[in-house]
A and B are shown apart, each in its own frame.
Chain A
């Protein structure tokens, strides 16, 4: 498992290095690997396929133009692309001012769903490995204390600030901060130990 993880990280970093040198085949391979999870996240946050696709397009064009700025000391390639996507999605949420209408979906295991004219076979193959990882993350997340999971989901997927989460849940600010911190630390620890 660790060997696979390290190999994957190495492959991702090599792809980013190639993209930095304008290698379109490396870009295409990275797209195949990352687009499923990034699109799923954008859809969960935006709840609108057209907007999620526009956000994803922005993100991949950003990856194409900014691959040279990726710093492996700061995060893995996958986390870097997640943070880029989240940032673009949040820009869109702010622009349309409809945070309150965000679709909140369940984190239960769900089969991969294809939207529109997806190239099912090819994309599904690249997503197969991510689906395993997704099942692990959902398992760990669903086994966190519910108050920690709730605080993390509100922060990550709805981009509520800790002040807004405290107000929504009717809890003191310090309690909400501690829930987010404990939940995130547990998530990391349990994912590392699986």
Chain B
């Protein structure tokens, strides 16, 4: 049972309105009270949704370019090794020798960690998700697109489509997995877009697809077909 006072605190906490001392006290209460934690999570979601109440704006495209450049630079950035000067005498050499030993130990540790990570990846299908970006090909609108998150371990995925107008009556969009070991694309089911041209669905190919090279969406007869007949509208590899 959560008291009204606790609920008040939970609401203020979710909105970040508690002072540092109150925050710490409330967090210790949270650790001991699962029901209170659930309430805070719910209230946090409500607070998150509040962001959507702001008048809708889009940032300029240049901002994304700026950010993507920044993370690309950060990824490539290499910390330069400091140069050692002989005039420091034997001390830097001793430090360097110590560092060399330490680096050797780190290298061994890294190998061990990489093995552990590989084991975890093998054990956890969530670690094996591959993303495919599907680009339009005529007759799809040039601005249509789709993203597929595919988990080979689970043989299932999620597709999100944007800006693809609903098909004409009597037609359906059908998703296909192009697998290296199958001659023909494998059907992954019908995908229906909403009035905004958006769809988001989970799918499972009708046959096992262990080496998916690409996903594609074609325009087919209503209800779908066992083997692709219609034109490809979106296609993309990982």
Contact = CB atoms under 8 A, between A and B. Distances in A.
Interface string B186-209: 000000000011101110000000
Contacts of B68: 24, 27-28, 31
Contacts of B64: 28, 31-32, 35, 119
A169 interface: no
Contacts of B66: 57
A29 B93 CA distance: 48
A17 B42 contact: no
B26 interface: no
B149 to A, nearest CB: 5
A44 interface: yes
B58 A124 contact: yes
B33 interface: no
Contacts of A18: 129, 131
B56 A126 contact: no
Interface stretch (B69-77, B172-180, B216-224, B225-233): B69-77
Given A110-B56, A117-B60, A133-B52, 10 more contacts: A8-B160, A28-B68, A35-B63, A83-B48, A112-B56, A113-B57, A118-B58, A127-B56, A127-B58, A153-B53
Given A36-B57, A107-B53, A79 B48 contact: yes
A134 B202 CA distance: 23
Contacts of B47: 79, 82-83, 156, 184
Given A23-B131, A56-B63, A157-B54, A8 B200 contact: yes
A129 B160 CA distance: 11
B67 A60 contact: yes
A159 B158 CA distance: 37
Interface in B40-56: 41-56
A82 B48 CA distance: 6
B76 to A, nearest CB: 11
Interface of B: 4, 7-8, 10-12, 14-17, 41-64, 66-68, 70-72, 74-75, 126-127, 129, 131, 133, 143-145, 147, 149, 158, 160, 162-163, 196-198, 200-202
Interface string A133-147: 110111001000000
A188 B46 contact: yes
Contact of A137 (B16, B53, B126, B160): B53
Contact of B60 (A116, A159, A177): A116
A90 B12 CA distance: 16
Chain A interface, >50% SS class: helix
Given A24-B68, A180-B15, A39 B59 contact: yes
A138 B53 contact: yes
Measured as residues with beta carbon below 8 angstroms from the partner, the interface class of chain A is 35 or more
B16 A90 contact: yes
Interface string A157-194: 10101100000000000000110110011011001000
Interface in A1-55: 3-4, 7-8, 10-11, 14-15, 17-18, 22-29, 31-32, 35-41, 43-44, 52-53
Given A4-B200, A35-B64, A181-B7, A141 B12 contact: no
Given A75-B45, A119-B61, A125 B197 contact: yes
B45 A128 contact: no
22 contacts: A3-B202, A18-B131, A24-B75, A31-B64, A35-B63, A76-B48, A79-B48, A82-B51, A114-B60, A118-B58, A119-B64, A123-B59, A125-B144, A125-B198, A127-B56, A132-B196, A134-B53, A137-B50, A177-B8, A177-B12, A184-B43, A191-B49
B197 A152 contact: no
Contacts of A152: 15, 50
Contacts of A137: 49-50, 52-53
Chain B CB within 10 Å, residue with most, of A11, A24, A27, A121: A11
Nearest to A52: B59
